[in-house]
Structure 1
Amino acid sequence: MKTCAHVTRSPLGPLFIAVEGAGVLLRLEFLKSRSLDELADLDATRGDELAWSERECAHVARELAEYFAGERREFGLACRPRGTAFQREVWTTLASIPYGATWSYGELAAKVGRAGASRAVGRANATNPISIVLPCHRVIGSDGSLTGYGGGLPAKRALLELEGALVAEPGAAGGQLSFTSVRPGSSARSSTGSSSAGRGAGRSSIASGSSSRAGSGARSSSGSGSAAAARRAASRR
Structure 2
Amino acid sequence: MESFSKRILEFSKSKDFVGNTGEFSFVVKSAELNSRFFVSLNRENIGSISYESELDGPFLGIFHSLCKLFSNSSLDRVRTFAPRELESFLRDSNQTPSVPGDQFPTQFIEDFKKVLLSSYLAFFAEEDISGWCARENATYVGNIKAIKEFFTLRLNMMNYFSEQNIEVNLVHLAGKEVVIEFISTVNSLKLAPTSLSNEEFSVLAKIIGTIIGHDQINLVAE
Fold in common (TM above 0.5):
no
Please, what TM-score do these two structures have when normalized by structure 1? 0.25
**Structure with bigger gyration radius:** 2
Which one has the bigger helix percentage?
2
